[in-house]
Structure 1
Amino acid sequence: MLRKLLFRQAPRAYRFLSTQSTLPLLSKCSVFSYCSSSRPEIPPSNSIEHLEDQPTNTISIDRSGLCSPPEHSHEPSSDSELVKHLKGIIKFRGGPISVAEYMEEVLTNPKAGFYINRDVFGAEGDFITSPEVSQMFGEMVGVWAMCLWEQMGQPKRVNLVELGPGRGTLMADLLRGASKFKNFTESLHIHMVECSPALQKLQHQSLKCMDEENTSEGVDKRSLSTLAGTPVSWHATLEQVPFGLPTIIIAHEFYDALPVHQFQRGSRGWCEKMIDVTEDSSFHFVLSPQPTPATLYLMKRCKWAVPKEVEKLNQIEVCPKAMDLTSTLAKRIGVDGGGALIIDYGLNGVVSDSLQAIRKHKFVNILDNPGSADLSAYVDFASIKHSAEEASDDVSVHGPVTQSQFLGSLGINFRVEALLQNCTDEQAEALRTGYWRLVGDGEAPFWEGPEEQVPIGMGTRYMAMAIVNKKQGIPIPFQ
């Protein structure tokens, strides 16, 4: 399958509370039942527990009984710096870490994170993203942004924000495609939310930026994309993007790399899956014997779900950072105007067990050599919708629709036909292949090359959702 594609930078880390933290939790619900008093391996369970509202109590989160760190050894270690760091966290806390914390360290550790100091995109990297497949993807996203700008009343100044821009290919194609529409491009100030220095440099090159030194004190250096004469700024987090202007936000394959918490149904309720160190110094999964802070998000997610949807599951993934990020987006859009476009692979419902690791286009064990493979999980689009609607009464949520429907409604069919009119045979083959990968479903029927290189369509695997200010009406193509 084409899960060889994508995954993006997570923003700031979601940190666990300390070993003896206290927090208000709903005490009598079965979700807070202890799974075991010792360090259990993950067992299957057919028991059904129900989540209900209960009075609030304060309980202690104690992980000390979960870990028995191996004795100190004087033997030389071949562990990488990131592995040593992860084991150090577990040893220091006297207990395991959550899957989410492991995921964020693996992806965004400042020294050894998967995304931080390398280019992981494209055929030579670990996965291929939609913008890398074809220029048409960025062009269609640009059409969407321009249509939204028109629905906003064509404001003279707009923030165009991309979360986790990778190499900057999507934004570069967007600007090239929109460069003839001067009123639109002249209104833009582009903000790239990216914390990887290596990727920031690649984005700077892709957008063909020129830096202008300001002589005024206290004024940051200004970059200008020569693709459309548009100012560009870089930020480590979304919060650093200035408020007060209408904002168009693009989150393409960004949510799938946000850290997820995994829960397993046990004999006494839902227990969080954690990562610990075995006696032979390798990583393995255990279940928390007590409620964890992320259980609050599990409770919220289960309240949003249809009861039957939860009853049939033995595992559930929740992504607190996705819920919180969506709330932030919705509040900003509700106040400043604008909208957000989210495109990713996922489900329009509760996600069970989707976390996976990819190294050099192949699936590997997520605990194998952390930091050498990308980690990602399915996006829970239903959770995004509920988070946005709860955060602001001034926004509306549309979709999800399949990527094939989204791109088709924006005119990708006409675009590929136009490009095919004036290209070489080699270019035509690349266009057809890219088009199929973006909108097709399964293996391309026209392929005559090597079987192992057959294009796989992701048109139905990926979905698109929009969050917009209600004053602007229903965005294209969700009408």
Structure 2
Amino acid sequence: MMRKLLLQASALRRLSNAHSLPSLLTSSSRRCSSSSSKTTSPQPPITSLEHLDDGPSQATSKISIDRSALYNPPEHSHEPSSDSELVKHLKGIIKFRGGPISVAEYMEEVLTNPKAGFYINRDVFGTEGDFITSPEVSQMFGEMIGVWVMCLWEQMGQPSKVNLVELGPGRGTLMADLLRGTSKFKNFIESLQIHMVECSPALQKLQHKNLKCVDEDSHNGNVDKRTISMLTGTPVSWHAALEQVPSGLPTIIIAHEFYDALPVHQFQRASRGWCEKMIDVAEDSPFRFVLSPQSTPAKLYLMERCKWAGAEEIAKLDQIEVCPKAIELTHTIAKRISSDGGGALVIDYGLDGIVSDSLQAIRKHKFVNILDNPGSADLSAYVDFASIRHSAEEASDDVIVHGPITQSQFLGSLGINFRVEALLKNCTDEQAESLRTGYWRLVGEGEAPFWEGPDDQVPIGMGTRYLVMAIVNKKQGIPISFQ
């Protein structure tokens, strides 16, 4: 224990002197509004035996989230010209099948369709995009993640080679800040093999640029290229899925705002039992919600999720969201950690329990109709952290799950307060304001008390809205922040 504490203290001291302050203002991963976390947007009515309750509901059956602080930047446009093609594609699927499609299939097509998916062909992050995420708020976020990863590496026995995997790296900002923050720890940096799991060619190019990568000829005579990040001389590889990351090495996985974009199935309680919400073609608009007239394959996942909850909790709910891909991904992560050693860090907005009705769409920092102009807005849903925990524990007896804890608790235990104090010692008034604003957004709760600017841009802390969970091999012991 003393060794781990000494390592953390040494890491924080070096971090305090690692960078010049101006880099803080240029630091820019993924999804959150400029001043608050995502919130729930209204959905169109369902055409079926019964309608959703548009009025107030019990806390356990509907998520109530403050969305008053969403930042609305100047209008801009980056809608793809192929959006109409995606509408035609979705209608074609429905027509070919002779019936509606699931919300999950709609969500997957909208986000990752190879030609017109929201993430595929453009940069959607930052104030000029559609949302802002923690790594873009402040470089301190990536630096603290670096401290956590390095401490876990120490607990793993400082292996000479380790796979560092990031799922959905966005612009590559988190990884870039992590590398800069830990660059002085030679043994740690030299052990890293970085793997970026990214399906978007456009974002892959942006990550390549932000990590300052260069492609070198391999030394084995093959035509394959070896990519190196010039930030630290670390090899970097890209993959479309976690399964493509080579196994056999201890592995540390970062999943920051990745689970929330995985497609969810939605179910509503009706007089005939739980019915899956589907999406069909409407006469007066492109799409509408309906209820499936019969049982669907996804109901098996609903049954699995319900077995992890108490009967009283289920009885209070009128709607339930389940995410089969989150369960499958967690199984993959747990099995990899079980066989190769290491751990995974999951950071996202969500609940430590069943999620009722949270699916939402954001375009240009504004909430929009989920079915409006598919492909032009981000779709996401609250993460069911309880489901992740049960999935990991069922996948392997060799892993243990810690958390979730709040983002504020997580970053605080890593020493973000010491980092911000060190940066504030040598900065301009403008930089100090940026530091305080970024710090509050990462660890604060509610509106920042020090804000003197426009009311519609007051920083909203997401320190308690975002949750953090760790899945680690039992051999590593309890990771820092969860002790």
Q: State whether structure 2 residue 270 is matched by structure 1 residue 275.
A: no
Q: State whether structure 2 residue 405 is matched by structure 1 residue 373.
A: no
| AA of the residue aligned to 1:249 | I
Alignment check: 8 A CA contact 1:90 1:276 kept: yes
1:100-111 equivalences in 2 (<5 Å): 100-111=104-115
- Number of residue-to-residue matches in the alignment: 416
Q: State whether structure 2 residue 268 is matched by structure 1 residue 264.
A: yes
Residue equivalent to 2:207: 203
1:274-293 equivalences in 2 (<5 Å): 274-280=278-284, 282-293=286-297
Q: State whether structure 2 residue 47 is matched by structure 1 residue 43.
A: no
Q: Secondary structure at the match of 1:305?
A: coil
Q: Which of residues 121, 124, 128 in structure 2 aligns to 1:120?
A: 124
1:46-445 equivalences in 2 (<5 Å): 80-214=84-218, 216=220, 218=222, 220-280=224-284, 282-445=286-449
Alignment check: 8 A CA contact 2:100 2:280 kept: yes
| AA of the residue aligned to 2:404 | P
Alignment check: 8 A CA contact 2:168 2:258 kept: yes
Q: How far does the alpha carbon of each residue in 1:191-245 deviate from its partner, in whole angstroms, 9 at most, with x for none?
A: 0000101000110111111110226455631111111110000011111100000
Output the CA distance in 2 between the equivalents of 1:217 and 1:433. Answer: 51
Output the CA distance in 2 between the equivalents of 1:79 and 1:322. Answer: 27
Alignment check: 8 A CA contact 1:166 1:203 kept: yes
| AA of the residue aligned to 1:470 | K
Output the CA distance in 2 between the equivalents of 1:235 and 1:150. Answer: 27
Which structure has the bigger radius of gyration?
1
Output the CA distance in 2 between the equivalents of 1:3 and 1:170. Answer: 17
Alignment check: 8 A CA contact 1:41 1:286 kept: no
Output the CA distance in 2 between the equivalents of 1:136 and 1:369. Answer: 36
Output the CA distance in 1 between the equivalents of 2:224 and 2:435. Answer: 41
Alignment check: 8 A CA contact 2:199 2:240 kept: yes
Q: Secondary structure at the match of 2:346?
A: strand
Alignment check: 8 A CA contact 1:43 1:266 kept: no
Output the CA distance in 1 between the equivalents of 2:287 and 2:181. Answer: 48
Output the CA distance in 1 between the equivalents of 2:368 and 2:417. Answer: 36
CA RMSD of aligned residues (A): 1.6
Residue equivalent to 1:54: none
| AA of the residue aligned to 2:267 | F
Q: Secondary structure at the match of 1:244?
A: coil
| AA of the residue aligned to 1:143 | V
Segments of 4+ moved more than 6 angstroms: none
Output the CA distance in 2 between the equivalents of 1:179 and 1:192. Answer: 19
When residues 218 and 267 of structure 1 are mapped into structure 2, their CA distance, relative to the original with a 3 A threshold, is farther
Residue equivalent to 1:472: 476
Output the CA distance in 2 between the equivalents of 1:107 and 1:44. Answer: 25
Q: How far does the alpha carbon of each residue in 1:134-191 deviate from its partner, in whole angstroms, 9 at most, with x for none?
A: 0000000000000000000000000000000000000000000000001000000000
Output the CA distance in 2 between the equivalents of 1:6 and 1:322. Answer: 20
Percentage of matched positions with identical amino acids? 83
Output the CA distance in 2 between the equivalents of 1:142 and 1:395. Answer: 22
Q: Secondary structure at the match of 1:291?
A: coil
Alignment check: 8 A CA contact 1:341 1:464 kept: yes
Q: Secondary structure at the match of 1:186?
A: helix
Alignment check: 8 A CA contact 2:263 2:323 kept: yes
| AA of the residue aligned to 1:475 | P
Alignment check: 8 A CA contact 2:33 2:132 kept: no
Please report how far the alpha carbon of residue 3 of structure 1 lies from its aligned counterpart in structure 2 after TM superposition: 5.0
Alignment check: 8 A CA contact 2:398 2:473 kept: yes
Q: How far does the alpha carbon of each residue in 1:11-51 deviate from its partner, in whole angstroms, 9 at most, with x for none?
A: xxxxxxxxxxxxxxxxxxxxxxxxxxxx7265359xxxxxx
Output the CA distance in 2 between the equivalents of 1:345 and 1:173. Answer: 22
When residues 41 and 166 of structure 1 are mapped into structure 2, their CA distance, relative to the original with a 3 A threshold, is farther
| AA of the residue aligned to 1:351 | V
Please report how far the alpha carbon of residue 281 of structure 1 lies from its aligned counterpart in structure 2 after TM superposition: 5.0
Output the CA distance in 2 between the equivalents of 1:292 and 1:6. Answer: 33
TM-score by length of 2: 0.84
Alignment check: 8 A CA contact 2:83 2:376 kept: no
Q: Secondary structure at the match of 2:232?
A: coil
Q: How far does the alpha carbon of each residue in 1:243-268 deviate from its partner, in whole angstroms, 9 at most, with x for none?
A: 00000000000000000000000001
Output the CA distance in 2 between the equivalents of 1:399 and 1:183. Answer: 29
| AA of the residue aligned to 1:352 | S
Output the CA distance in 2 between the equivalents of 1:161 and 1:252. Answer: 11
Output the CA distance in 1 between the equivalents of 2:398 and 2:452. Answer: 51
TM-score by length of 1: 0.85
When residues 219 and 410 of structure 1 are mapped into structure 2, their CA distance, relative to the original with a 3 A threshold, is farther
Q: Secondary structure at the match of 1:80?
A: helix
Output the CA distance in 1 between the equivalents of 2:409 and 2:311. Answer: 30
Please report how far the alpha carbon of residue 307 of structure 1 lies from its aligned counterpart in structure 2 after TM superposition: 1.3
**5+ long unaligned stretches in structure 1:** 8-38, 46-77
Output the CA distance in 2 between the equivalents of 1:308 and 1:437. Answer: 36
Please report how far the alpha carbon of residue 279 of structure 1 lies from its aligned counterpart in structure 2 after TM superposition: 2.5
Please report how far the alpha carbon of residue 424 of structure 1 lies from its aligned counterpart in structure 2 after TM superposition: 1.2
Residue equivalent to 1:13: none
